[in-house]
Amino acid sequence: SEESNLCDLLRDYDKPAQEVIAEMTDGGVDR
């Protein structure tokens, strides 16, 4: 599924997942 692919992708990043998601979503989930 797309969701599990995203999790696998995030494991490849050195940054925290939240930072990566913030960049990908142009602001992040918390804002």
Per-residue pLDDT 10s for the chain (31 aa) are 567 777 776 666 666 777 777 777 776 555 5
Q: What is the pLDDT of residue 29?
A: 56
Burial call 10-30: b when 16+ CB within 10 Å, e when fewer: eeeeeeeeeebbbeeeeeeee
Instruction: Find out whether 7 is annotated in a ligand binding site.
Output: yes
As a whole number of Å, the CA-based R_g of the chain is 9
Check residue 7 and report its DSSP letter.
Answer: H
Q: What is the pLDDT of residue 31?
A: 53
CB 12 within 8 A of CB 19: no
